[in-house]
Amino acid sequence: MNITSNKWYYAKLLVGIVAISFSPLAVKLVSFSTSVSAFYRSFYAALFFLLMSLFKHKEEYGVRHFRWLLPSIIAGIFLGIDLEVWHKTIIFLGAGPATFLGNSQIIFITLFAAFIFREKIPVMYYVTVAMVMAGLYLLTPSATATVGRTVGYLLGLIVGFTYAGMLIGLRYAKSRSAGKYPELLSLSAVFWVAALVIALYAVTVEHASLVVWDGRSHVIMMVTAFMCQTLGWYLINNSITEIPAHEGSLLLMLQPLLATVWGCIFFFEPLGAVQVLGIILTLAGIIIYQLRYASKTSGVRLGFDE
């Protein structure tokens, strides 16, 4: 790999990271309820991925098997639950804490990989789990107008768990495809299923209407779906495998940090000394995990949450 192409991959990765870092802000900018915003985020992302797959129709629609479909559907179910809970967590706790809590997926991915793919769990994993879990608890606001620290913390861990389930589902979909994997079509299926899961919850549990006529909010959701879910994921997926694994993993840690900064700047989200300590402890645990373990395994690409 020459120096020019190497720089290009780094540039694409950074652009993707910056794009997805704005993702949680959209939830606070729209007039939609959290369930409705999660639905439209998924709906528009599914549509954009489907349109992108049409441009690669020879590769995407030339695949004669559908072994990738069932794992993609399972991934979509996990993603639907993830987005439903994550959108609520953003409102309850703030963009920064909610995004950091979602990055607890690195813990659950290892557990999934151990049970499903029979990967060994090293001793270092337990050390980093203790650091990350403690750090995440500290950075969770002590109390908000709606939930306490413990409830907010548990909601964040649910986001991490379900996001890990989605990533493992995508990993399994690709492994089942034997080298012929329609990635864009698979991602479109994932988001269609996620939109369906969210719609079912919104209509049956919250008795919410998904037909909301607010042009400004729809535009914000469309831009978010395209910039974060579609373009952001695509740039990261197509660049992170072309640079050293440990460097890519560490660069991905910019995403929750930037989300925290944007929350402080645009929404004046408070950030006390205890939360800063929690962020430092969380990042330290994740960095140790990535350098000592994650980059040495065949694991799923980590860290680009939502």
Region 235-249: mean pLDDT is 70
Residue 13 lies in a domain: no
pLDDT of amino acid 268: 87
DSSP-assigned letter for residue 143: B
Asked whether residue 12 carries a pLDDT value surpassing 90, the answer given is no
| CA 9/CA 240 separation, integer angstroms | 7
pTM of the entire predicted model:
0.87
pLDDT digits (tens, 9 = 90+) for 109-126: 777 777 776 767 777 778
pLDDT of amino acid 248: 67
Nearest-CA neighbor of 9 among 301, 258, 295, 251? 251
pLDDT of amino acid 293: 60
Judged by average pLDDT, the poorest of 142-156, 179-193, 234-248 is 234-248
Phi/psi of residue 143, nearest 5 degrees: -165, 145
Number of domains in the chain: 1
Residue 15 lies in a domain: no
Asked whether residue 91 carries a pLDDT value surpassing 80, the answer given is yes
pLDDT of amino acid 236: 81
**Most distant CA pair in the chain: distance in Å?**
56
Region 248-274: mean pLDDT is 84
pLDDT of amino acid 80: 97
pLDDT of amino acid 123: 75
Residue 8 lies in a domain: no
Residue 47 lies in a domain: yes
Q: How confident is the model at residue 246 (pLDDT cuts 50, 70, 90)?
A: low
Contacts of 50 (CB under 8 A, 6+ apart): 184, 185, 188
pLDDT digits (tens, 9 = 90+) for 26-58: 999 999 999 999 999 999 999 999 999 988 877
Asked whether residue 145 carries a pLDDT value surpassing 70, the answer given is no
pLDDT digits (tens, 9 = 90+) for 156-167: 999 999 988 988
**Alpha helices, H only, the chain:** 3-21, 25-29, 34-55, 57-60, 69-93, 95-102, 105-116, 123-139, 149-175, 183-204, 215-224, 233-237, 245-252, 254-267, 273-292
Residue 9 lies in a domain: no
Residues pairing with 148 in the sheet: 143
Cβ–Cβ < 8 Å for 169, 23: no
Residue 2 lies in a domain: no
Q: Which residue has the higher pLDDT, 56 or 217?
A: 217
Residue 92 lies in a domain: yes
The separation between CA 233 and the C-alpha centre of its own chain, rounded to angstroms, equals 9
Residue 16 lies in a domain: no
Range of the domain at 124: 30-296
pLDDT of amino acid 223: 94
Q: How confident is the model at residue 149 (pLDDT cuts 50, 70, 90)?
A: confident
Cβ–Cβ < 8 Å for 162, 112: no
Cβ–Cβ < 8 Å for 137, 93: no
Q: What percent of the chain has pLDDT over 90?
A: 32
Q: Assign 148 to helix, strand or coil.
A: strand
pLDDT of amino acid 219: 95
